[in-house]
């Protein structure tokens, strides 16, 4: 998974929004077709994720059975992607889940849900960036194999500080960075797969351990494997932020989501099977830099060093892009009057949201002190309740509250995909470790307290009025009225 993929909205969408003056109305051109839309999703899905997580999923799924984790992850991603498709096509714009929960839950709880969503994003986004930093340090171990524990932590904090320092200025656009990141990552993935299959042994890739037939252990491993897999698939929702830019969004958006998930599933399967067909899966499970291990085993140290450098560059760049986009999430929410006012302030000289950047930078640095699996568990547990589950509920609420809202795409076989996604996400939450569940619940409770304090000061519900504004319905009616006037004038 790209480290910029799981935040809301995507870094590209936010950076683009940041470039526009506040008084300028956005202008969209429906120029993005199915191929381009699918490529955008795949760019966001692909990142340093599989290079970091293949050892973990191989370990929890008993080697060859990891393919089941990738397939089940794709099923959950696809069901959830159809939720994104309907909401994104009906309510396009920079905001994603924030927009959906704001529109759906304003009737009963005012600004509570969007506030809690942003509060959750303040933790989940930096944790995603922490995985990129952890991966950077792990692959740096290829060149510096004898680093002590305190040295790895110091490097992690130092790299995080370097990213924040590089971002401590106004960044106009990250499109060029995204393109470079895509090229580097696909080159690293392609070289690793090519190296793996240049000396592939089917017997290694299909040898199951004796305990593989234990059903209880299988389902325990499946839960852990699904957590890792869904982390790696994240990014399939990117085109949901581009509804007004897609040609025929009701057709292109769901197809781009489905095609990108299926394509990445086959890519992940090829990579996973190739790796354990080159190196015994027990050895893969203990590796901290599996791509370097595979390439070194088959093509030698020099080739492995080249691939490792590519991964290091991609890890740094993805954290850079992720924090750039992520820091804009609380900024726009604060400017929208839905979050703490301090996060809506811009740097007096460079004109960027420095408060959010610094806070997220500190959380990212703190996350690097945990191991990769623990961080993934924490970020998944935090994101499930206030993004995934809330968004599924938002789709149902909006169908009832705003039935006249134009929906270019309506979820196929509704509500079956929503129910599959709901069950899948609840199972993923259940499968996370107890510490992560307690942390996510505790963070939610703190968010509720913070909201009550903020609402009291800002005189919002439940201490003030509860204004209802159906933004997208109003926009739809204005557009219809304008079209009628123009037609009448002709």
Selected residue with higher pLDDT from 448 and 92: 448
Query: What pLDDT does residue 6 have?
Result: 47
Query: What pLDDT does residue 385 have?
Result: 86
For the cut 50, the answer to whether the pLDDT of residue 23 exceeds it is no
Q: What's the pLDDT tens digit per position in 267-276?
A: 999 999 999 9
% pLDDT > 70, the chain: 91
Q: What's the pLDDT tens digit per position in 176-232?
A: 666 777 788 889 999 999 999 999 999 999 988 887 778 888 888 899 999 999 999
Q: What's the pLDDT tens digit per position in 333-371?
A: 898 889 999 999 888 888 888 999 999 999 999 999 999
Query: What pLDDT does residue 24 have?
Result: 43
The arithmetic mean of pLDDT across residues 382-399, rounded, is 94
The arithmetic mean of pLDDT across residues 310-330, rounded, is 87
Q: What is the dihedral of CA 130, 134, 135, 141, to 10 degrees?
A: 160
Query: Would you identify the CATH topology of the domain 11-489?
Result: Amino acid/polyamine transporter I (1.20.1740)
For residues 230 and 405, what is the distance between their CA atoms, to the nearest angstrom? Answer: 31
The arithmetic mean of pLDDT across residues 399-428, rounded, is 95
Query: What pLDDT does residue 29 have?
Result: 63
What are the residue boundaries of the structural domains of the chain, listed by start? 11-489
The arithmetic mean of pLDDT across residues 372-390, rounded, is 92
pTM to 2 decimals? 0.88
For residues 303 and 488, what is the distance between their CA atoms, to the nearest angstrom? Answer: 68
For the cut 50, the answer to whether the pLDDT of residue 13 exceeds it is no
Selected residue with higher pLDDT from 127 and 169: 127
For the cut 50, the answer to whether the pLDDT of residue 20 exceeds it is no
Band (172; pLDDT cuts 50, 70, 90): low
Band (462; pLDDT cuts 50, 70, 90): very high
Q: What's the pLDDT tens digit per position in 103-126?
A: 999 999 999 999 999 999 999 999
Whole-angstrom CA distances from 479 to 473, 483, 490 are 10, 6, 17
Query: What is the rounded average pLDDT for all residues in the chain?
Result: 87
Query: What pLDDT does residue 294 have?
Result: 96
């Amino acid at each position: 998974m790209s480290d910029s993929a799981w935040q809301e909205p995507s870094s590209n969408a936010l950076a683009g929004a940041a470039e526009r003056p506040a008084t300028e109305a956005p202008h969209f051109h429906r120029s993005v077709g199915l191929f381009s839309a699918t490529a955008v999703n795949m760019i966001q899905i692909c990142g340093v994720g599989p290079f970091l997580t293949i050892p973990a999923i191989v370990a929890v799924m008993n080697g060859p059975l990891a393919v089941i984790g990738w397939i089940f992850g794709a099923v959950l991603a696809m069901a959830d992607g159809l939720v994104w498709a309907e909401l994104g096509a009906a309510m396009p714009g920079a905001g994603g889940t924030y927009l959906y929960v704001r529109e759906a839950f304003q009737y009963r709880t005012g600004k509570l849900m969007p506030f809690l969503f942003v509060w959750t994003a303040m933790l989940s986004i930096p944790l995603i960036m922490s995985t990129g930093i952890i991966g950077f340090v792990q692959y740096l171990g290829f060149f510096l194999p004898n680093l002590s524990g305190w040295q790895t932590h110091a490097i992690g904090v130092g790299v995080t500080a370097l990213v924040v320092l590089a971002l401590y200025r106004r960044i106009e656009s990250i499109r060029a960075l995204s393109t470079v990141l895509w090229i580097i990552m696909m080159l690293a993935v392609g070289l690793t797969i090519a190296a793996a299959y240049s000396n592939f042994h089917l017997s290694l890739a299909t040898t199951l351990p004796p305990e593989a037939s234990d059903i209880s252990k299988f389902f325990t491993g499946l839960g852990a494997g699904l957590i890792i897999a869904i982390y790696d698939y994240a990014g399939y929702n990117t085109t949901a932020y581009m509804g007004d830019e897609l040609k025929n969004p009701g057709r292109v958006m769901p197809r781009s989501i489905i095609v990108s998930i299926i394509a990445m599933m086959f890519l992940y399967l090829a990579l996973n099977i190739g790796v354990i067909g080159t190196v015994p899966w027990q050895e893969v499970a203990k590796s901290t830099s599996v791509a370097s291990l595979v390439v070194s085993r088959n093509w030698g140290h020099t080739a492995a060093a080249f691939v490792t450098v590519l991964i290091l560059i991609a890890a740094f760049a993805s954290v850079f892009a992720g924090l750039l986009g992520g820091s804009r999430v609380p900024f726009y929410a604060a400017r929208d009057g839905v979050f703490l006012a301090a996060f809506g302030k811009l740097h007096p000289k460079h004109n960027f949201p420095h408060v959010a950047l610094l806070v997220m930078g500190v959380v990212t640095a703190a996350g690097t002190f945990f191991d990769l699996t623990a961080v993934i568990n924490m970020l998944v547990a935090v994101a499930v309740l206030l993004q995934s589950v809330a968004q599924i509920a938002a789709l149902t609420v909006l169908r009832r509250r705003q039935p006249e809202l134009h929906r270019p795409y309506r979820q196929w076989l509704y509500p079956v995909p929503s129910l599959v996604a709901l069950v899948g996400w609840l199972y993923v939450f259940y499968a996370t470790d107890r510490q992560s569940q307690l942390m996510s619940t505790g963070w939610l409770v703190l968010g509720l307290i913070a909201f009550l304090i903020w609402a009291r000061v800002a005189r919002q519900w439940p201490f003030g009025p509860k204004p209802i504004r159906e933004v997208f319905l109003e926009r739809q009616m204005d557009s219809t009225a304008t079209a009628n006037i123009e037609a009448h004038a002709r």
